[in-house]
Amino acid sequence: MKRFLEELKYLNSGISNVTKIILAVIVLYFIFGTGGNILTNPMIFLNIAILLLSLLIHEVAHGVMAYICGDPTAKNYGRLSLNPLKHLDPLGTLFPILLILSGSSFIFGWAKPVPINYWRLKYGRLGEFLVAIAGVASNFILAAIGLFLFKYAAPHLGNRYVYAAVIYMIRLNILLGVFNLIPIPPLDGSRVLASLGNDDLRNTIFYMDRYGIIIILLLNMTGVLWRIIAPAYSGILYILEKLI
């Protein structure tokens, strides 16, 4: 716990005071609103495990693609590992866990961004695009794997917990994929946009990283975020169902 708190403080030392206050209020709200959910629903532990695995694979995918495109920075920092301690951001992990504990139907979270040296990437802006889209692609691949298991494997097991876990894996990874495609810094969608735009747009997007979490939280609180995500979520689920 001591190490966790020290890492929490270190990793989030650059966050503005306004952002810290907003996050603290939200965390306290969910802590007092969880009630006995964790004691009455053992699926919560399985859902948290699926969440952590999905966030981990998302970040590893960025690092692997960067390595393929010529930048070994993530590899040199040990970020191609499947060890969760090397990837999980304490705040970005705690927040979605609290959402799960509170019974929220909308879950989002983030891991520590993998270090990328854009100057070392091959293929220019195409390399940037491939690295940016890799995380989202990993979530959609996980959702497709989950859908395949649901259709062809889960029925033979006859276990309700397996069914529930697979369904959660599908829904969560589509949500994470669509959420990360939104072009709000520092989400992957903003990096995709930066790879397609001119230098001024790219610099503006990277500058806005410090304010992105506030924008995202405000959109979520007002319900706008779900109205943005819902159509894309339904569309991607429909496409995956047709392909499998």
Q: Tell me the C-alpha distance between 99 and 4, whole Å.
A: 19
Same domain, 26 and 59: no
pLDDT digits (tens, 9 = 90+) for 17-39: 665 666 666 666 655 655 555 55
Same domain, 119 and 151: yes
Same domain, 195 and 235: yes
Reported as half-sphere exposure (CB side, CA atoms, 13 A), residue 188 has a value of 27
Same domain, 47 and 31: no
- Nearest in space to 134 (alpha carbons), one of 148, 121, 149: 121
Same domain, 99 and 205: yes
Same domain, 162 and 193: yes
> For residue 110, what pLDDT is reported?
73
Same domain, 30 and 13: yes
> For residue 113, what pLDDT is reported?
83
Q: Tell me the C-alpha distance between 153 and 228, whole Å.
A: 33
pTM: 0.80
Same domain, 132 and 212: yes
Residues annotated as catalytic (active site), given as ranges: 59
Same domain, 8 and 109: no
Domain region containing 201: 42-243
Same domain, 51 and 158: yes
Q: Tell me the C-alpha distance between 184 and 234, whole Å.
A: 21
**CB distance 237 to 174 below 8 Å:** yes
Same domain, 74 and 102: yes
Q: Tell me the C-alpha distance between 25 and 213, whole Å.
A: 14
Number of domains the chain contains:
2
- Nearest in space to 190 (alpha carbons), one of 132, 109, 118: 132
Helix (H) or strand (E) run with residue 171 in it: helix 160-181
Q: What is the pLDDT along the chain (244 residues), one digit of tens a residue?
A: 555 555 555 555 555 666 566 666 666 665 565 555 555 666 777 888 898 899 899 999 999 999 999 999 999 988 898 887 777 776 666 667 776 666 666 666 677 888 999 899 988 899 999 999 999 999 999 999 999 998 888 777 777 888 888 999 999 999 999 999 999 998 999 999 999 989 899 889 988 888 888 898 888 888 898 899 999 999 999 988 888 7
Same domain, 71 and 30: no
Handedness of CA 201, 205, 211, 216 (dihedral sign): positive
